[in-house]
Amino acid sequence: VRNNFVAYDRDRSGSISRQELVAVLGACRLLCSEQTLNTMYQAYASPNQQISYISFIALAADLAYNQTLFSWFDSDKDGKITYDQFLQMQAISK
């Protein structure tokens, strides 16, 4: 993850922009919709609209954890879970 972050921090500022975030998440195979990406970016970006390495680690860990948890509940692998499964997933996440 560190190598991917550094590779996409093109200006070597120690933080990444939204565009750089899209690229580095793709390289880490952590994919999400545009709407989810926007929500996550707003949650993890600093006031100057950049994501530090520490914030990126938190974002990537949260995304990977939720993808793993979702896969666990999506037993038929159709990309869908029930509302009840979603609530169970939320309870486990706490």
Q: Which residues pair with 16 in a beta bridge?
A: 51
| 76 band by pLDDT with thresholds 50, 70 and 90 | very high
Position 66 pLDDT exceeds 80: yes
pLDDT tens-digit series, residues 32-42: 888 988 898 99
Q: Which domains does the chain have, with CATH numbers?
A: 1-93 (1.10.238.10)
Of 19, 33, 42, nearest in space to 66 by CA = 33
pLDDT tens figures, 11-29: 888 899 888 888 888 887 7
Q: Are 42 and 79 in contact (CB under 8 A)?
A: no
Taking a C-beta distance cutoff of 8 angstroms, is the pair 93, 69 a contact? yes
Residue 93 dihedral angles phi and psi, to the nearest 5°: -70, -15
CA distance 56 to 3: 12
- Cβ neighbors of 53 (< 8 A, separation 6 or more) are 2, 5, 14, 15
Residue 7 pLDDT: 87
